[in-house]
A = this chain, B = another copy of it.
Amino acid sequence: MTSLPIVKITDLDKYFGRLHVLKNINLEVPERQVVCLIGRSGSGKSTLLRCINFLEEPSRGAVEVDGIKVNTETKGRERHQLIHDVRLKTGMVFQEFNLFPHMTVLENVIEGPVTVKGIDRKQAIELAEQNLDSVGLLFKKDEYPLRLSGGQKQRVAIARALTMQPRVMLFDEPTSALDPELIGEVLNVMKKVAYEGMTMIVVTHEMGFAREVADRVIVMSEGKLIEDGEPEKIFNSPQDPRTESLLIRYKSGGG
């Protein structure tokens, strides 16, 4: 690993009630790396991702994003502020898009810059239009999300996250709620983002994408990182029998 880690997770544990969902996770992601996170349903992929921007509170351990470190000892106002800073450094794209239905596409995209960063509205619109253009949806800017196809919604969600100019993008199965036909357009946008040098952590079932774009694939199982390496290595010579069975499933399951 060549450059400084931009995301660093240390000794992270997460419980839901009695359920131990993440078990002593340690992970460093250097800048500009594209990491794909794979694993069975329920293995804790989403929870790990959501711990990075504190949509879930880790039960124990530290998360550091671009030098901002939050651990179990950080409390009160300071914690609040640091979590806010971490969220500014990270952009997230959800499986269910979560566009704001009461705002047009453009309003969705400028909402963050204007409300959170206090950027001038005009400037925000410029920035937003650039990003909408780069996901190929500038012509839909005045539509309401309801009128978009799933693929279009997801591309807007990506543009919305990008317009906040985050250091790291987190994707949680961004294509799995889409018709296969529409998956391609979203993956293409993600590729573009990756090639422009964004650090990305992507939970995905898209093996083609992982193979082609990822610098690194991490396999999760029952709350632990069981395998970690270059895509070719993981796909061609998995070390763990669980990885093997996972890959077989993907091959038979997908269309």
Question: Which residues of A are interface residues toward B (Cβ below 8 A)?
Answer: 40-41, 149, 173, 176-184, 205-208, 249-250, 252-255
Contacts and interface: CB of A to CB of B under 8 A. Distances in A.
Contacts of A178: 176
B173 A179 contact: yes
Contacts of A249: 181, 184
Nearest to A187: B253
B179 A205 contact: yes
A41 B182 contact: yes
Contacts of A184: 249, 252-253
Nearest to A246: B181
B179 A255 contact: no
Contacts of A176: 178-180
Contacts of A41: 149, 179, 181-182
A253 B205 contact: no
Number of copies: 2
Contacts of A183: 253-255
A89 to B, nearest CB: 28
A192 to B, nearest CB: 16
Given A207-B255, A208-B255, A255-B206, A180 B149 contact: no
Given A41-B149, A149-B41, A254 B173 contact: no
A181 to B, nearest CB: 5
16 contacts: A40-B181, A41-B179, A41-B181, A176-B178, A176-B180, A177-B177, A180-B255, A181-B205, A181-B249, A181-B250, A183-B254, A183-B255, A184-B253, A205-B255, A254-B255, A255-B255
Contacts of A205: 179-181, 255
A34 to B, nearest CB: 17
A206 B180 CA distance: 9
A205 B150 CA distance: 15
A114 B78 CA distance: 59
Contact of A250 (B149, B180, B206, B252): B180
- Greatest chain B CB density within 10 A among A180, A250, A253 is at A180
Nearest to A207: B255
Nearest to A151: B41
